[in-house]
Chain A
Amino acid sequence: MKTNERNLVMSDAASRLRRLAAFFSKGFLFLVAAASLVAVLLIIVYIARDAIPFFKLRGLKELFAGTAWFPSGNPPEFGALAIFIGSGLVTLGAILVAVPLGIAAAIALSDILPYRLRQAVKPVIEILAALPSVAYGFFALVIFAPLLQNHGGSLLSLAAWLIFLPLGLLIAFAVSEIATRSIRADVAPAARWLLAATLAAVLVRGLAALSAILKNVAVSSGTNAFNVSIILGIMALPTIVSVAEDSLQAAGRELREGSYALGATRAESLFRVIIPAAGSGIIAAVILGVMRAIGETMVVWMASGNAAQVPQPWFNFLSPVRTLTATIAGDMGEADQVLGSERYHVLFALALCLLLISFFANLASEWILRRQARRLGGLK
Chain B
Amino acid sequence: MKLRSRRLLDRSLTGVSVMAIVLMSLSLLVLLGPIFSRGAAAFLFRATSEFRRFNLEQFNRGDSRRIAAESRAVAEARQPLYGMLAAFTAELEDMDPARRRELRQQFKEVRDLLRELLGPLPGEMDAVMLRQQYGQTRWDRARVTLQRILFSEQWDYSDPSRMGRKVLVPRRQAFAGTQLEPLFPHLQQNLKSMLQPRFTFYWRFLSDRSLDSHFFGGIWPEILGTFYLTLGAMLLAIPFGVIAAIYLSEFAAAGRLVSLLRVCISTLAGVPSIVFGLFGLAFFINTLHLSHSKSVLAGSATLALLILPTIIRAAEEALKSVPHAYKEAALSLGASPLRMVLTVLLPAALPGILTGVIISMGRAAGETAPIIFTAAVSVGRPLKLWETLNQPTPALPWNIYNLATEHQAVDQIRHVQFGMVLTLVLLVLLLNLAAIVIRARISRKMRG
Tell me whether B246 and A29 are in contact (CB under 8 A). Answer: yes
- Measured as residues with beta carbon below 8 angstroms from the partner, the interface class of chain A is 35 or more
Question: Complex formed: what's the CA distance from A36 to B243 in Å?
Answer: 12
B interface majority secondary structure = helix
Chain A residue with minimal CB distance to B436?
A123
23 chain-A/chain-B pairs, Cβ below 8 angstroms: A21-B338, A22-B337, A32-B240, A35-B244, A36-B244, A36-B312, A39-B305, A40-B271, A42-B283, A105-B17, A109-B21, A112-B13, A130-B429, A134-B397, A136-B31, A138-B417, A267-B14, A288-B270, A291-B270, A325-B272, A325-B369, A354-B274, A362-B267
Using known A-B contacts A126-B436, A265-B9, determine if residue A50 contacts B282 with beta carbons closer than 8 Å. yes
Tell me whether B13 and A266 are in contact (CB under 8 A). Answer: yes
Question: Complex formed: what's the CA distance from A127 to B8 in Å?
Answer: 34
CB-CB under 8 A from B5, the residues of chain A are: 173, 177
Chain B residue with minimal CB distance to A103?
B20
Using known A-B contacts A33-B248, A124-B24, determine if residue A112 contacts B14 with beta carbons closer than 8 Å. yes
Question: Complex formed: what's the CA distance from A267 to B14 in Å?
Answer: 8
Question: Complex formed: what's the CA distance from A111 to B244 in Å?
Answer: 36
Interface residue B385 (Cβ < 8 Å from any Cβ of A): no
Q: State the Cβ distance, A333 to closest chain B Cβ, in Å.
A: 8
A134-B366, A135-B31, A295-B270 are known; give 14 further A-B pairs, CB within 8 A.
A26-B247, A32-B247, A36-B312, A125-B24, A133-B369, A135-B425, A136-B31, A170-B16, A237-B24, A302-B401, A325-B274, A348-B282, A354-B272, A362-B267
**A residues 326-377 with Cβ under 8 Å of B?**
328-329, 332-333, 336, 339, 347-348, 351, 354-355, 358-359, 361-363, 366
Instruction: Point out the residue from B263, B273, B368 that lies within 8 Å of A363, measured CB to CB.
Output: B263
**B residues 268-293 with Cβ under 8 Å of A?**
268-279, 281-283, 286-287
Question: Complex formed: what's the CA distance from A29 to B337 in Å?
Answer: 12
Interface residue B6 (Cβ < 8 Å from any Cβ of A): yes
Instruction: Point out the residue from B9, B163, B278, B428 that lies within 8 Å of A347, measured CB to CB.
Output: B278
Residues of chain A whose beta carbon lies under 8 Å from any beta carbon of chain B: 18, 21-22, 25-26, 29-30, 32-37, 39-40, 42-43, 46-47, 49-50, 100-102, 104-105, 107-109, 112-113, 121, 123-128, 130-139, 141-143, 166, 170, 173-174, 177, 181, 218, 234, 237, 241, 265-268, 270, 288, 291, 294-298, 301-302, 325, 328-329, 332-333, 336, 339, 347-348, 351, 354-355, 358-359, 361-363, 366
- Measured as residues with beta carbon below 8 angstroms from the partner, the interface class of chain B is 35 or more
Question: Complex formed: what's the CA distance from A134 to B422 in Å?
Answer: 11
CB-CB under 8 A from A126, the residues of chain B are: 432, 436
Tell me whether B366 and A135 are in contact (CB under 8 A). Answer: yes
Question: Complex formed: what's the CA distance from A347 to B275 in Å?
Answer: 10
Chain B residue with minimal CB distance to A102?
B20
Question: Complex formed: what's the CA distance from A302 to B402 in Å?
Answer: 10
Q: State the Cβ distance, B240 to closest chain A Cβ, in Å.
A: 5
Tell me whether B278 and A351 are in contact (CB under 8 A). Answer: yes
Interface residue B362 (Cβ < 8 Å from any Cβ of A): yes
Tell me whether A138 and B282 are in contact (CB under 8 A). Answer: no
Using known A-B contacts A101-B23, A132-B428, determine if residue A267 contacts B9 with beta carbons closer than 8 Å. yes
Interface residue B168 (Cβ < 8 Å from any Cβ of A): no
Question: Complex formed: what's the CA distance from A125 to B23 in Å?
Answer: 12
Tell me whether B163 and A297 are in contact (CB under 8 A). Answer: no
Tell me whether A141 and B263 are in contact (CB under 8 A). Answer: no
